[in-house]
Structure 1
Amino acid sequence: MKLKEEYNRLVKSVKANAKESGNKIKNEEIAKRLGFTKSYFSELLKGSLAVKEEHIEGFKAYFSKELSGDVKPAPAWDSMNRERALIKVLLHEVAKLKSAATGAAIEVVLAEFEKDTRDVMNELND
């Protein structure tokens, strides 16, 4: 794998793990943690600047926790968690209504919603 592709894969992995835990991270924040300017970091990602082994090793060192997947969820008071909780409540209310209307078990309805959500997320990430 080329160094640029490896670097981009690492960045995507860190972003995905952070997003999954509710701690969304932007390129600007990544650049700051690495001690880079936003433009320098962007040039590395685009391939305008050559990605060297030192860049990859430095990235792995600074983001070892995020790359291991050992990231704590956002605190309960975080607005993103509040929004997630609200969405989850609404999802369950809709599932109850659909279950009552169709006669399907609520677990089946929730499983369908989960599958549909994964499908849409995959579509958006492609």
Structure 2
Amino acid sequence: MSASQSASRGSRPLSPHLQIYKPIPTMVMSIVHRITGVALYGGTLLFGWWLIAAASGPEYYAVVNGILGSWFGLLVMFGFTWALIHHMLGGLRHLAWDLGHLFDKHVATRMAWATLILSVTLTVAIWVIGAMVL
């Protein structure tokens, strides 16, 4: 590295890390949107496993249903439901942005909070209705 490259490199500002920024709702929802997207891969594999078990016969279905019907399995499926709904609502929020709407700072912040609150509310409602039906 030449002296001029070293000098120019030292005078440039460094890119700040996440620890520098104060977490704001839109930033946190962006991170959570990415995390739920990754979680959907695992949940989709579990859902596929359950469907394959259902098609394989009653013995194998009973095994898989026993695992997914355990308290841990239900907790995972509850999380999958929340991730699915939260990711969908985040996608709708991004669609509105892609169409050029809801860019005002206070509106974007309210939409971030609404995404979180609505995803939790809808998840609980789906599970309560599902429990009442069964």
- TM class, shorter-length: under 0.3
Larger radius of gyration: 2
- The two structures have a TM-score, normalised by structure 1, of 0.28
TM-score w.r.t. structure 2 length? 0.27
| Greater RCO (CA < 8 Å, at least 6 residues apart) | 2
Q: Which has the higher helix share?
A: 2
